[in-house]
Structure 1
């Protein structure tokens, strides 16, 4: 044990020396454009609360109503006694919202992908994954025992080459819809065309597109007008929806199979039903309040225009995720600290979360931000650029 602890201590020191050690900040109060850390308020561009719903009065009221109706805990797994009417209604509403025959609710997006992928593919099968996919897709693929083939980011030509020469009985293409560190959108039309051509399934992780993209916020598939029984659609409910949880939607038989075989659904205690009642209220706001997405698009354009003259590039993105790539880990931390001193919170993202030499500031915008707050961030970065640029 002493040797193990010494090794871990050395590894932590190495992380610190490479500017890769992570740390948490304790936040007081609700999510919003202003976050309180201790007794100091920060203008925050670090949250995935893209529509500004996490502290909405209608959601708070719905949570209270769910608390009164169901109490706090679900008591057991969904297949024992934890599947409530609230969750049943939520699954029905989510399936209708994204235009799928059926949906299944999961506790988190990570748990969803860890359950979905091994239920669909196993030894002898092949999974094809975009190089920049989120960790939960990668971990789900590794857990499955299937052959795991990685294609370069958004490279449909390379994916076709891999699919064409593959003879596995079952092939599964997995991809983020909106890539969480770059903010770009996957070529979903081309991915689906290849899956149809080479008899493969397509799992789309729309964690960062659900609620933001498509008519009424119905997601990335709706953004492209795509529908197919080959697609399994996973959306998360703790980002634009402002609450917690995730779901997968698709062909009714596929969803039934996941209910029977997804271990992260079967063997975990069901989520508190009060979250489902809250999500039903959230879904209505996502559907009806188009002004939130319109305002968000305006803020994105304002930010990109304001940062265009910096020596550091902002990656192409039409989503609330805007990545200012500075390459060097130390510089990313210095810029984060420089903004911190100005009362602005933007996280520095470093390897291994992103590829080597692509350290960045990951700026997340929300419909709750104002144009004046965007301008404050722009001014703050230009001030730092005079020193570091």
Structure 2
């Protein structure tokens, strides 16, 4: 047996990532930082809203700092159930079930509804949480080309399994493009399958008053459709939720391991999310303002107008995108930087996320900073479409 360091391979892997421009670092931000934020998913600009902060504080005062246990033991409060009822009513679903994160909601929903003897068909652009859910599902998994409804139909029609699930984001997080939900639901229903739609980037942005892309397509409340979502984006908090029929909710309570064996969502997050939802319901025009600001950002960046809050500026190689992101940060503009494996090789990019409360002054500063940074980045290498 060798006495060599059994983890020496980590050093080699780290060096390879540095060479490829793929090394990642944690960069703590200071409270009250003065930079303009185009990196977070705070789509409605509510994370610092006084009502959201008060909602979190009030919940902590009533229920304490933590949920204290699994939701099946001590971790469910009256406020958890109020949040579930309010979210379900908002999107037009029969019932809701809150999880500790959006990731946990996707893992719980897919693994509890799949299993051996099931076919799972997932879009090639599905979020990593859906990818991991597929891996843990014990089902046969097929990956359909991005937004290819005909491929989904063929896979469902030719299956030998009795049960089948189709998985998709409503708004894809890297490019901001939309799933063809009408067509997907049609072929899913025709083949006796269930459609699971991750509305993480759709809620608060698409649909009437921000009710999501499922609601926008008139599919809310369909018995063979399950919505998953996160509370950490438009709802300015933390946590995840599954919105579906009462019988799906009951099954998840009995079967979803990320619900049964995880500590419940912290009271502060529950209170903050309820407050954010209340603000959106009072001011449904916020969703339209997000899309308007996204159109402004696309115009500034010289890319096509988006269908969501996500504005993707493809720059090509990972080093170029990373250096452009750092140049933005140095000038007071925080942007996302997506590199492999988050996006395909050769399509590294700046990912700009719009907020409903971006001001004209901020947009003018963004135009100046991005104009300088993108001119330099695009001059180094042709932009890949």
C-alpha deviation, 1:366, in angstroms = 0.8
Match of 1:101 among 83, 87, 94: 94
SS in 2 for 1:23: coil
**CA distance 1:261–1:294, change in 2 (3 Å):** same
C-alpha deviation, 1:292, in angstroms = 2.2
Match of 2:208 among 215, 222, 230: 215
Matches within 5 A, 1:107-146: 107-146=100-139
| Aligned residue number for residue 245 of structure 1 | 239
C-alpha deviation, 1:125, in angstroms = 1.2
Matches within 5 A, 1:348-359: 348-359=337-348
C-alpha deviation, 1:250, in angstroms = 0.8
| Aligned residue number for residue 376 of structure 1 | 365
- Cα RMSD of the aligned pairs, angstroms, is 1.5
| Aligned residue number for residue 382 of structure 2 | none
- Give structure 2 stretches of 5+ with no counterpart: 380-385
SS in 2 for 1:29: coil
Could you state the TM-score of these two structures normalised by the residue count of structure 1? 0.93
C-alpha deviation, 1:78, in angstroms = 0.7
Task: Check the 8 A contact 1:130/1:151 in 2, yes or no.
Answer: yes
1:338 maps to 2:327: yes
1 CA distance for matches of 2:322 and 2:116?
Answer: 42
Matches within 5 A, 1:2-41: 2-29=4-31, 36=33, 41=34
Task: Check the 8 A contact 1:336/1:346 in 2, yes or no.
Answer: yes
- Give structure 1 stretches of 5+ with no counterpart: 31-35, 309-313
Could you state the TM-score of these two structures normalised by the residue count of structure 2? 0.94
Paired positions, count: 375
1 CA distance for matches of 2:305 and 2:346?
Answer: 18
C-alpha deviation, 1:284, in angstroms = 0.8
C-alpha deviation, 1:332, in angstroms = 0.6
C-alpha deviation, 1:171, in angstroms = 0.5
Deviations 1:85-112 (A, max 9, x none): 1111111111111111111010101011
Deviations 1:217-242 (A, max 9, x none): 11111121213100011111110000
SS in 1 for 2:358: coil
2 CA distance for matches of 1:352 and 1:316?
Answer: 25
1 CA distance for matches of 2:285 and 2:100?
Answer: 29
Matches within 5 A, 1:1-389: 2-29=4-31, 36=33, 41-227=34-220, 228-308=222-302, 314=303, 317-388=306-377, 389=379
| Aligned residue number for residue 33 of structure 1 | none
Task: Check the 8 A contact 1:126/1:148 in 2, yes or no.
Answer: yes
SS in 2 for 1:326: strand
Deviations 1:67-89 (A, max 9, x none): 22111122111111211111111
C-alpha deviation, 1:316, in angstroms = 5.6
Task: Check the 8 A contact 2:200/2:230 in 1, yes or no.
Answer: yes
1 CA distance for matches of 2:241 and 2:373?
Answer: 41
Task: Check the 8 A contact 2:91/2:212 in 1, yes or no.
Answer: yes
C-alpha deviation, 1:334, in angstroms = 2.0
2 CA distance for matches of 1:187 and 1:326?
Answer: 27
Task: Check the 8 A contact 2:295/2:305 in 1, yes or no.
Answer: no
Task: Check the 8 A contact 1:75/1:82 in 2, yes or no.
Answer: yes
